[in-house]
Amino acid sequence: MDAHDMQDDLAQVLITEEEISRRLDEMAAQIDADHEGQQLLLVGVLKGAVYVMADLSRRLRSSIQMDWMAVSSYGSGTKSSGVVRILKDLDADLTGRHVLIVEDIIDSGLTLSWLLGNLSSRGAASVEIATLLRKPEALKVEVDVAYVGFDIPTEFVVGYGLDYAEQYRNLPFIGLLKPEVYEN
C-alpha cells in the first residue's frame, strides 16, 4: 500500500519510509551506546508500537528481551481521554531490569506519564522512553523522553502503526489524514 492508494484519505505524506528508516538507525545506535553492557527489556505498547518495536529491535546490537502491554485511553476517538485502562499486562517481572518503553506517538503525554509511573513502581532499575513521534504542542504533562524520532505538528496522523478506527496502520510512512475522514 502506498500514498497513491490512499490519496482520497490523505492530505500529505509527512514522513517518508526512508526518513523513518534512517532515523530508527540513528536511534538504535544511540540506545546501544547508552546501554552498553546492559540487557534491555523493550516494552511495546500495543497496537500502534508494533512496527516501531519490530524495526527498532532489529537494529539494536544490545542484548534485548521484549514484552508487550496494551493500554487504552482513546477508545474510538482521536483525542486521549486521560483515563488509562490496562488491557494486557506484561508477562515479565521488572525487578532490577532496564526497561525501554517503545511508543509510536506521544500526544498529550497523559497515558505515557501514567505508564512510566506504573512501570517504575514495579522495581525496575531504570525506565526510559523511545518514541517515533512526539507532538510537543499537544503535551498536557511533562514526560522525559530519552529517544525521539520526530517532533510533528498536532494534526491527526496515520501509518506505520498509527490508525484511525483500526485502519491505515499498514502504511509504510506517516501521513496526515484529511479532517473530513475523521470528522464525520
Catalytic-residue membership of 67: no
User: Is residue 153 helix, strand or coil?
Assistant: coil
- One of 8, 89, 107, 151 is an active-site residue; which one? 107
Report how many helices (DSSP H) and strands (DSSP E) the chain contains, helices first. 4, 9
Sheet containing strand 64-72, strands side by side: 85-88, 64-72, 40-46, 98-106, 126-134, 147-151
Torsion of CA 102, 103, 108, 111, to 10 degrees: -60
Chain centroid to CA 101:
8
Q: Which residues are part of the catalytic machinery? A: 107
